[in-house]
Amino acid sequence: MEQQIAELIRQNQELIRALQIRDHSYNHKVTVQFEKFDEENENFDSFIERIETYLNVQNVPIVNRAKLFVSSLSAKLYQLLKNLLAHDIPTDQTVQTVPFALKGRVENEIDRLEREGIMEKVESSEWATPVVPVVKTDGSISLCNDYSVTLNPNLIVP
């Protein structure tokens, strides 16, 4: 999704966006202009109100609204939102030790998952999260990941 947003920004760099809307009653095209967000002279709340009004008045389909919104942002604001909403930044966490009593069963479970093609061994990776072995009632091991340590620090998690 981040690549799609970046592509939209790259395609829509002009100051003013022109949308072509077909008016079926007169069968001609009407070009409607929508000015980009001006972060120096406009409050973001008023921009949101302005774009919502525009989208409703122009009857812009819901599937096209996100594209118009993103294309209307200034490059600086887009970068701010991108950083705030970033969820795919590689993170690498320190290895947590597995309890000695579970070590053999954890290794067996990893081997089984590799054999079945669910996991594959890599030499190194930018992505890592701690593994938490959970003992099931039948004594087998379920491998879970502790994603709470790799979440975006800008997100508020309950």
> Mind listing the pLDDT tens digit for each residue in 49-68?
777 777 776 676 776 666 66
The yes-or-no verdict on residue 142 having pLDDT over 80 is yes
CA-based max dimension of the chain: 78
Q: Alpha-carbon distance 80 to 42, whole Å?
A: 16
Q: Is the Cβ–Cβ distance between 78 and 9 less than 8 Å? A: yes
Are β-strands 28-35 and 141-145 bridged in parallel, bridged antiparallel, or unpaired?
Answer: unpaired
pTM assigned to the model: 0.40
